[in-house]
Structure 1
Amino acid sequence: MALPERNNEGFLENAWQWDKATAEVIAAESGISLTDDHWEIIGLLREFYKQHEMSPPSNRLFVKAVKEILGEDKGNSIYLMQLFPGTPAKTACRIAGLPRPTNCL
């Protein structure tokens, strides 16, 4: 499968070229096999992007957004790190086809 154009960090150049097959390939590159829990967060991120035309700018705001929508069980750093190892906001945004969060290292 030919992926849409990406930058040197693996983020899509155009978020609107994303689809679920693209997400599966990008996730596999990070050693992640997507489950319903992943798709729930990816859907939340895509909706956030539609509303705000930006990715959550930091990991802290990513966790806060998840907490507001899905509750404390899923809106916490430990849960999100289990799904998206490393820097959860950065990893999740890459898989969701969104721009790199501005404050993520």
Structure 2
Amino acid sequence: MGIVINGTTIETDENGYLVNLEDWTEEIAGQLAEGEEIEMSDEHWSLVKFLRNYYDEYQIAPAVKVLTKAIAAEKGMDKKEASEFLYGLFPKGPALQACKVAGLPKPTGCV
């Protein structure tokens, strides 16, 4: 399985997540988002960058609770507002969809 960028096939797993995290580029992210029917805005890109930085630091994708808490703190929202904000960006699940677009492995645990 995979997606094709400029004639090159980028390998994905059965759920559409990148097999090799090093393959990720913003162009690939755009194509992954398109496959999820998401039109990337500055807010989407900001979240993708947050997830990639978190992964670089901890070597794991954050669970949705961690993600919600971090976004709430960053944006001065309460957790409910942050959750609604995240689901507004990634309606099928902010951790699952956003991690896919960010080129990260599928999150485990509480998603």
TM-score by length of 1: 0.88
Q: Tell me which protein shows more strand as a share of its residues.
A: 2
The size of the alignment, in residue pairs, is 104
CA distance in 2, matches of 1:99, 1:48: 13
CA distance in 2, matches of 1:73, 1:36: 21
CA distance in 1, matches of 2:110, 2:18: 16
CA distance in 2, matches of 1:24, 1:73: 29
Which whole-Å deviations, capped at 9, do the CAs of 1:54-100 have from their partners, x for residues lacking one?
Answer: 101x2112211222334327971100001011111100000000011
Percent identity of equivalent pairs: 35
- Give the match for residue 99 of structure 2: 93
**SS at 1:51 equivalent:** helix
- Give the match for residue 64 of structure 1: 69
Task: State the superposition RMSD in angstroms.
Answer: 1.9
TM-score by length of 2: 0.84
- Give the match for residue 36 of structure 1: 42
Higher relative contact order (CA 8 A, sep 6+): 1
Q: Pick from 33, 45, 53: which aligns with 2:51? A: 45
Large movers: runs of 4+ above 4 Å: none
Which whole-Å deviations, capped at 9, do the CAs of 1:12-44 have from their partners, x for residues lacking one?
Answer: 112121000000000001111101010010010
- The structure having more radius of gyration, on CA atoms, is 2
